[in-house]
């Protein structure tokens, strides 16, 4: 399936960290369905931590392990993926995906998980046999007549688990960087010697993202405490919010140098940090972090999705993050659903339950008084 521009435009939706299980939080699915139906993306990109893979075997309540074998874990994974992807498939929207750290925290290999995604007719990618990882690949976007590549999307795997060592790594492998450089050069040659303008998606931020921050006082607006006890905040040149300390890849592997050398990247887009939603420029390349969509894991009031509108003629893009409230509106029931389903809303849940008990007590008291 070729992805093509339509009337010189294409709209891409990033869904970052949906991170749910086989029993899904319904409010997230309602939010995503509303986003699909009102924002009308031409392509959806799931940018990792699609599944909360390290909790597939847990009991529904508590932390007891109830699934003991790999076969049961595989069935749970397949169900969780279906809850996330089936609404996309039903709408016949093409989608692409990469992995995050949580996707790989189980007994299933990435290839086994990829086979589960490939069952859906609108799934793209996961098919480059020259790349070092199944979730490292590119998706060209063609002119409307399908004759020429006018834009490109890079999907880069940045998180993996050594199953034998039982250890997780946050790293873009050197082999992946070399693959990108070679593939970028190939696309450039096919494009008459001009780099093909591109977006790059990967789950875990590059360590150079810290160049968008500066040290500050503890009481500065937007201050975040670092592991060394100091405080940092986003530089004034950035747009958006840093709501938590940046959890970047483990080390530099020459990725930024490769991006600058190839000269094709308009922006590199990350997820991973649920409370971070900002944009800034590092060495001439736009760095974008997108907040989570998940309701099962930690986050802020601003869970949602990001849109990229790309222009075929200029190769430029515009981007906006749409929050739950922007998508769902100000209805009381939608607000109650958010509070009930979203992790990190404990105080609001207690207040909601207490209010319900008081209200119910008042109703019962009124009925008793009336009957007397």
| Lowest mean pLDDT, pick from 22-26, 125-129, 333-337, 345-349 | 345-349
Tokens representing 205 are 């931020």
Integer Cα distance of 132 and 158 in angstroms = 12
What is the arithmetic mean of pLDDT over 108-130?
95
Q: What is the chain's length?
A: 372
Whether 125 has a pLDDT exceeding 90, the answer reads: yes
Integer Cα distance of 116 and 74 in angstroms = 9
Neighbouring CB atoms inside 10 A of 127's CB total 11
SS3 assignment, position 238: coil
What is the arithmetic mean of pLDDT over 312-336?
95
Whether 369 has a pLDDT exceeding 50, the answer reads: no
β-bridge partners, 3: 141
What is the arithmetic mean of pLDDT over 22-26?
93
Q: For the residues of 157-178, what is the DSSP string, one character each? A: --EEEETTTTEEEE---HHHHH
Indicate the burial class of 195 (C-beta count within 10 angstroms; 0-12, 13-18, 19 or more): middle
pLDDT of the residue at 163: 65
Pick the more confident residue, 159 or 268.
268
Question: In sequence order, what are the residues at sequence separation of 6 or more whose Cβ sits closer than 8 angstroms to the Cβ of residue 289?
Answer: 205, 209, 240, 246, 270, 271, 272, 273, 276, 277, 278, 279
Please check whether residue 49 is in contact with residue 203, taking contact to mean a CB–CB distance below 8 angstroms. yes
CATH assignment of 3-341, among 3.20.20.210, 3.40.50.300, 3.60.21.10, 3.40.50.2000: 3.60.21.10
Tell me the CA distances in angstroms from 200 to 109, 136, 165, 331, one per residue in order.
24, 11, 30, 36
Whether 359 has a pLDDT exceeding 80, the answer reads: no
User: pLDDT (tens digit, 9 = 90+) per residue, 147-195?
Assistant: 999 999 999 999 877 766 666 678 899 999 999 999 999 999 999 999 9
Integer Cα distance of 365 and 348 in angstroms = 25
Please check whether residue 203 is in contact with residue 155, taking contact to mean a CB–CB distance below 8 angstroms. no
Torsion sign over Cα 268, 273, 279, 281 = negative
Indicate the burial class of 356 (C-beta count within 10 angstroms; 0-12, 13-18, 19 or more): exposed
Please check whether residue 338 is in contact with residue 326, taking contact to mean a CB–CB distance below 8 angstroms. no
User: pLDDT (tens digit, 9 = 90+) per residue, 227-258?
Assistant: 999 999 999 999 999 999 999 987 888 999 99
Indicate the burial class of 169 (C-beta count within 10 angstroms; 0-12, 13-18, 19 or more): middle
User: pLDDT (tens digit, 9 = 90+) per residue, 138-159?
Assistant: 999 999 999 999 999 999 999 8
pLDDT of the residue at 355: 62
What is the arithmetic mean of pLDDT over 96-113?
93
State CA 15 to chain mean position distance.
5
β-bridge partners, 270: 289
What is the arithmetic mean of pLDDT over 2-31?
96
pLDDT of the residue at 211: 97
pTM value? 0.92
Considering 25-29, 58-62, 357-361, the range whose residues carry the highest mean pLDDT is 25-29
Place of tokens 């992807």: 85
Please check whether residue 35 is in contact with residue 304, taking contact to mean a CB–CB distance below 8 angstroms. yes
Whether 370 has a pLDDT exceeding 50, the answer reads: no
What is the arithmetic mean of pLDDT over 317-329?
97
């Amino acid at each position: 399936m070729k992805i093509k521009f339509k009337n010189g435009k294409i709209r891409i939706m990033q869904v970052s960290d949906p991170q749910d299980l086989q029993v899904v939080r319904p409010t997230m699915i309602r939010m995503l369905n509303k986003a699909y139906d009102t924002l009308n993306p031409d392509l959806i990109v799931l940018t990792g931590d699609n599944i909360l893979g390290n909790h597939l075997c847990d009991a529904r309540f508590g932390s007891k392990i109830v699934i003991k074998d790999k076969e049961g874990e595989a069935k749970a994974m397949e169900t969780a993926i279906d809850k996330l992807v089936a609404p996309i498939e039903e709408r016949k929207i093409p989608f692409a995906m990469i992995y995050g750290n949580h996707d790989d925290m189980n007994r299933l290999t990435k290839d086994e998980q990829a086979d589960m995604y490939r069952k859906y007719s609108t799934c793209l990618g996961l098919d480059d046999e020259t790349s070092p990882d199944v979730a490292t690949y590119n998706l060209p976007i063609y002119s409307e007549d399908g004759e020429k590549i006018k834009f490109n999307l890079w999907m880069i795997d940045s998180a993996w688990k050594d199953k034998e060592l039982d250890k997780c790594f946050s790293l873009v492998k050197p082999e992946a960087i070399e693959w990108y450089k070679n593939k970028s050069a190939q696309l450039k040659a096919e494009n008459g010697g001009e780099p093909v303008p591109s977006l790059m998606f990967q789950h875990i931020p590059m360590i150079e993202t810290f160049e968008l921050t500066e040290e500050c006082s503890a009481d500065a607006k937007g201050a975040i405490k670092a592991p060394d006890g100091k405080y940092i905040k986003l530089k004034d040149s950035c747009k958006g919010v840093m709501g938590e300390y940046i959890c970047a890849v483990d080390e530099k592997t020459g990725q930024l140098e490769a991006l600058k050398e190839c000269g094709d990247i308009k922006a590199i887009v990350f997820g991973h940090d649920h409370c971070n939603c900002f944009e800034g420029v590092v060495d001439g390349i736009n760095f974008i972090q997108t907040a989570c969509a998940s309701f099962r894991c930690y986050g802020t009031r601003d869970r949602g999705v990001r849109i990229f509108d790309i222009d075929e003629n200029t190769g430029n893009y515009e981007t906006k993050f749409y929050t739950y409230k922007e998508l769902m509106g100000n209805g009381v029931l939608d607000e109650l659903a958010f509070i009930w389903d979203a992790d990190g809303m404990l105080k609001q849940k207690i207040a909601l339950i207490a209010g319900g008990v008081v209200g119910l007590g008042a109703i019962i008291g009124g009925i008793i008084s009336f009957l007397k």
